Structure 1
Amino acid sequence: MRYLTRQFAIGALRRGHGIEQFLGCTQIGAVAAIQWVAISPMDGQYRVSLHTVQDPDDEVGDLPNLMSLDPVDEAYVGEGRELGSSPDEAEAIALAEQLTTTRSDCWVNHAVAGDEYMDFVRSRRNTADASRQQDQSRS
């Protein structure tokens, strides 16, 4: 599995690399959306941001380039809505876990949340295909 242990997540941040976590799908008005949280080193701090983008239901792994559904993010594509920051790596992770639905055991390296999204799309499609097959076999 691609998840980081807490120590590896802290280590990635200390080395200047971001971490992130795919949160899944949501609805913004009538538009299907997906969300993920990122923690990025920035100016001696660790910035916690929430990203909300349109769900293209496609195997697209470049999440920051998807259409943002958050007006705050529209001016700075891919940066997300800043939720807070901390000078300490562990505190930044704890802050993200307090402010969002992130889980302590599901952090991944920067740019891997896109892989998580692609897995999500494949799983969703497989479930839909299985349901259609069951419906057809009942007919």
Structure 2
Amino acid sequence: MRHLTRQFAVGALRRGNGIEQFLGGAQIDGEPVIRWVEISPGDGRYRISVHTVQDPDDGQVGDLPNLMSVDPVDEEYAGEGRELGVTEDEVEAMSLAERLAGARPDRWVNHAVVGEEYRDYVRSRREDVRTAT
């Protein structure tokens, strides 16, 4: 089970470890993209950012921050995402991410695990296509 309980997610942030959540796929100008939200601790604060990148549709890809961003805000600082907010409280950071990015309370993972969530997403799309034919 890779998803963190609320208590474990808060604990990770308090220990200085980031958490993130895969938000799924979307279309921007007819192009497939994927999105995830991240909470990064630093200097006693928690930065909430959302990432929107091109969807390579590749089940081998796991390092999502290295994918091409489609958000102009992220072009100058690749991999940092669009900042949604900053707070000094880890519970408030999670609530902000859930409210502003549509994150779910039961889907948080440790930092760098969101790539596994993406690989599952690609596999499930391919299985859906196979079962539909």
Q: TM-score, normalised by structure 2?
A: 0.97
Determine helix, strand or coil for the equivalent of 2:48.
Answer: strand
| 1:82-101 deviation per Cα after TM superposition (whole angstroms, max 9, x unaligned) | 00011011010011111111
Instruction: Work out the CA distance in 1 between the residues paired with 2:11 and 2:67.
Output: 28
Q: How many residue pairs align between the two structures?
A: 132
Q: Specify the code of the residue in structure 1 equivalent to 2:15.
A: R
* Structure 2 equivalent of residue 136 of structure 1: none
Question: Residues 12-27 of structure 1: matches in 2 within 5 Å?
Answer: 12-27=12-27
Query: How many Å apart are 1:42 and its aligned residue?
Result: 2.1
* Structure 2 equivalent of residue 53 of structure 1: 53
Instruction: Work out the CA distance in 2 between the residues paired with 1:131 and 1:94.
Output: 37
Query: How many Å apart are 1:27 and its aligned residue?
Result: 0.9
Instruction: Work out the CA distance in 2 between the residues paired with 1:29 and 1:23.
Output: 18
| 1:6-27 deviation per Cα after TM superposition (whole angstroms, max 9, x unaligned) | 1100100011100000000011
* Structure 1 equivalent of residue 2 of structure 2: 2
Percent of aligned positions that are identical: 67
Rg (Cα) greater in structure: 1
* Structure 2 equivalent of residue 66 of structure 1: 67
Unaligned 5+ runs, structure 1: 133-139
Query: How many Å apart are 1:130 and its aligned residue?
Result: 1.6
Query: How many Å apart are 1:48 and its aligned residue?
Result: 0.2
Q: CA RMSD in A?
A: 0.7
**Runs of 4+ residues over 2 Å off in structure 1:** none
* Structure 2 equivalent of residue 33 of structure 1: 33
Instruction: Work out the CA distance in 1 between the residues paired with 2:95 and 2:19.
Output: 13
Determine helix, strand or coil for the equivalent of 1:37.
Answer: strand
Determine helix, strand or coil for the equivalent of 2:84.
Answer: strand
Query: How many Å apart are 1:110 and its aligned residue?
Result: 0.3
Determine helix, strand or coil for the equivalent of 1:98.
Answer: helix
Instruction: Work out the CA distance in 2 between the residues paired with 1:35 and 1:43.
Output: 26
Q: TM-score, normalised by structure 1?
A: 0.93
| 1:29-87 deviation per Cα after TM superposition (whole angstroms, max 9, x unaligned) | 12100000000002221000000000000021100000000000011111000000110
Instruction: Work out the CA distance in 2 between the residues paired with 1:28 and 1:69.
Output: 8
Instruction: Work out the CA distance in 2 between the residues paired with 1:65 and 1:123.
Output: 22
Q: Specify the code of the residue in structure 2 equivalent to 1:22.
A: F
